[in-house]
Amino acid sequence: MKLTEQVWQFAEPVVEAQGCTVWDVEYVREGADWFLRVYIDKEGGVDIADCEAISRALDPILDERDPIPTSYTFEVCSAGIERALKRPDDFEKFLGSDVLVRLYRPKDGTKEFPGVLRGYEDGRVTIDYLGKPVTFEKSEVALVRLRATF
């Protein structure tokens, strides 16, 4: 089982006890440092008190379980208004929402396509882009995230 899946499993009951849900878990290197981040969400939005309470509750569990043998920085963060969509449930939940699709390589001269999420099937993402449906294959898509419009 991947490290992030392990952390998700033992973080989920702690996060839910605080009235939130786990949105994502990532373990990434930034420069010379490693970061373990647990992204949380809740109806009405997450605030700093939620992040702090969950961080305090998870910290001793991480120390006890010790899933990462090297040093790292642990953070609990809000999933954010422009959160990345990764799992099929994420796409289903946000059908009809404004998104930004970022590609690995340019298509028609651009790598970023803002639009309205219309579908997700087997990794293929369909959006309304400039008034027309456009479908991107899973292999083309680097990132899909919600797009805040004001």
Q: Do the Cβ atoms of 50 and 18 come closer than 8 Å?
A: yes
Q: Do the Cβ atoms of 80 and 141 come closer than 8 Å?
A: no
**And the tokens for 19?**
């009235």
Note the pLDDT of residue 66: 86
Residue 149 has pLDDT above 90, yes or no: no
Note the pLDDT of residue 12: 97
Other beta carbons within 10 Å of 150: 2
CA 138, chain centre distance (Å): 17
In this prediction, residue 150 has a pLDDT band, given cuts at 50, 70 and 90, of confident
Per residue in 58-95, pLDDT (tens digit) is 999 999 988 888 899 999 999 999 999 999 999 999 99
Residue 1 has pLDDT above 80, yes or no: no
Note the pLDDT of residue 67: 86
Per residue in 100-131, pLDDT (tens digit) is 999 999 998 999 999 999 999 999 999 999 99
| Domains defined along the chain, listed by start | 3-78 (3.30.300.70), 88-146 (2.30.30.100)
Beta bridge partners of 40: 22, 78
**And the tokens for 14?**
């702690």
Note the pLDDT of residue 138: 94
Note the pLDDT of residue 23: 95
Report residue 12: phi and psi, to 5°: -55, -50
DSSP state letter for 140: G
Residue 56 has pLDDT above 90, yes or no: yes
Note the pLDDT of residue 38: 97
Note the pLDDT of residue 146: 96
**And the tokens for 58?**
């998870």
